[in-house]
Amino acid sequence: MTRVHLGVFYTGVGSGYVWSDPANADHTAIETYLSVARTMERGLFDAFFLGEGLRVRENRGRVLDTDVVGRPDAITQLSVLAGATTRLGLVATQNATYNFPADLARRLSTLDHLSAGRAGWNVVTTDNAWTGENFRRGGWLAHERRYERATQFVEAAKAIWAATGPVERHTDLVDLRVTPTLPASRQGRPVLFQAGDSPGGRDLAARHADVVFSANRTYEKARAYADDLTERLAGHGRSRDSLRILPGTSVVLGDTDAEATERAEWLRQQQLTARQAIGFLEQYWNTDLSAYDADGPLPDIEPAEGELDPSRGTLSIADRTGKLERVRAWRQLAADKNLSIRGLVLEVQPRGGSFVGTPARIADEWARYVRDRVVDGFILGPSHLPGSVDEVVDRLVPELQERGVYRTEYEGTTLREHLDLPAQSSK
């Protein structure tokens, strides 16, 4: 069935959440989690999605102070929500580098049983030694082997979930001997999400994922991504129907398109304070720029030597090299367009992109996306809690329902059923 599946990527870190707005709840309070989860159930959402970052972001050796920060352990928090909700899917991002497969498989399986078949695991990898400093086995995995480890990890977890007897693995990347403690859950096993966009990540998705949390939001990119994945899936004997593609995005609504555009512009300003703009450049300059005015011209000094420090936890590998050329290009751009520091950062800062407009316009657009099968839904990142979620449930969901591309009740009870995924075989 063609329809829009929705999830919320609950705020954890980052500049997207406008903490300075007094209308916003404390994103770390359990009451906020509970109220957002209940609103999502009211809106018949598929999944509550928790991200993960295993080291607090820093800027030049100090904790980054400009953005929200403070996250729970995802599986623990979702186990709390399992006790307070009845339908909502509960998806934990968990790292395949800094966990033990048998331990993580059992914790995810527990969540799946506590929620009667609503658990999901978003498989991510980390290669960076900086995050590894928080772990006994810190920094042990070479960058080029992270997806090899992740693949073996996922295969071990799947074997544990399907097994009735001992599972044993002894490779240089995965070492375990375990007999599963839990039977299959109501949905068989946790639903597997995958978020990496590199070729290694796409291949892991094609081989093992039930859902991809994609970075490709615009129609053209989404179409190219879906085509690429369809081809990769075929290589593993799978059809496009066995996988859901859910890009991350956000929504800015207005009574008119003009009002929505105005709100989106206001929001972008809110999401980039002077301190955040300076902090963004400091990543590249690797030196204290606090004396510069964010509304003035770019720093007149040159960046310090050395490649980019990964301590924001947000820079892709590709973005960590070639910074001097990038800075030169930015100077040119700022000169051409007469941009201040803040103006430049607004132009060049990577961001997911939002859907901006009236509920009717966005509903039309989303209906086209799913009818053309370029995506199967979206995972929304809120700028406001509970406001952003309330707004989608109250204004956008009814428009989607009117177009016949959104459920009017939960037909099933498990996350696998919500996502219309094929029933889980025992293998």
Partner 1 sequence: MTLHLALETDGGGAHPAAWRLASVSSPGHVREVVRAAEAAGFALVTFADSPLPTPAGRLESVGRAAFVSTATSRVGLAPAVPTATTEPFHVAAQLASLDHASHGRAAWVVTGSTAEELATVGTDGPDGEAAEVVEVVRALWDSWEDDAVIRDAATGRYLDADKVHHVDFVGRHFTVKGPLITPRPPQGRPVVLADAALDVDADILLVSDHVRPARPGLVFAEVEVVLDAGTESAVSRLTDLDAVTPWASDRTRYVGAPEGLVSLLLELSEAVDGVRLHPAVLAVDLPVLVEHVLPALDLHPQRETLRATLGLPRPVNRFISGGVR
Contact residues toward partner 1 (CB under 8 A) are: 19-20, 28, 30, 34, 53-56, 62-73, 75-77, 79-80, 82-84, 98-100, 102-103, 106-107, 109-111, 113-114, 116, 133-138, 170, 174-183, 273-276
Closer CB to partner 1, residue 165 or residue 306?
165
Closer CB to partner 1, residue 71 or residue 189?
71
Give the SS3 label for residue 425.
Answer: coil
DSSP codes, 51-84: ---SS--EETTEE--SSB-----HHHHHHHHHTT
Minimum Å gap between C-beta 282 and partner 1 is: 13
Distance, CA of 273 to CA of 265 (rounded, Å): 13
Minimum Å gap between C-beta 180 and partner 1 is: 6
Minimum Å gap between C-beta 13 and partner 1 is: 9
Closer CB to partner 1, residue 15 or residue 216?
15
Closer CB to partner 1, residue 105 or residue 379?
105
Minimum Å gap between C-beta 30 and partner 1 is: 5
Closer CB to partner 1, residue 22 or residue 237?
22
Minimum Å gap between C-beta 323 and partner 1 is: 24
If we measure between CA atoms, which residue out of 190, 167, 168 comes closest to residue 180? Answer: 167
What is the dihedral sign for C-alpha 206, 210, 212, 218?
Answer: positive
Are β-strands 62-63 and 58-59 bridged in parallel, bridged antiparallel, or unpaired? antiparallel
Cα 14 to the center of its chain, rounded Å: 12
Closer CB to partner 1, residue 135 or residue 219?
135
Distance, CA of 362 to CA of 255 (rounded, Å): 12
CB 129 within 8 Å of CB 138: yes
Closer CB to partner 1, residue 181 or residue 256?
181
Distance, CA of 401 to CA of 403 (rounded, Å): 5
Minimum Å gap between C-beta 98 and partner 1 is: 6
- Phi, psi of 41, rounded to the nearest 5 degrees: -65, -40
Which residues are 379's β-sheet partners? Answer: 7, 248
Give the SS3 label for residue 417.
Answer: helix
Minimum Å gap between C-beta 135 and partner 1 is: 5
Minimum Å gap between C-beta 260 and partner 1 is: 25
Conformation bin of residue 250: beta by default, left when phi > 0, alpha when psi is -120 to 50: beta
DSSP 374: S
Minimum Å gap between C-beta 228 and partner 1 is: 33
Closer CB to partner 1, residue 162 or residue 176?
176
Distance, CA of 31 to CA of 123 (rounded, Å): 27
Closer CB to partner 1, residue 27 or residue 407?
27
Minimum Å gap between C-beta 54 and partner 1 is: 7
Question: Cα dihedral angle (226, 231, 232, 238), rounded to 10 degrees?
Answer: 100
The full 3-state SS of 223-285, as one line of letters, equals HHHHHHHHHHHHHCCCCHHHCEEEEEEEEEECCCHHHHHHHHHHHHHHCCCHHHHHHHHHHHH
Closer CB to partner 1, residue 68 or residue 400?
68
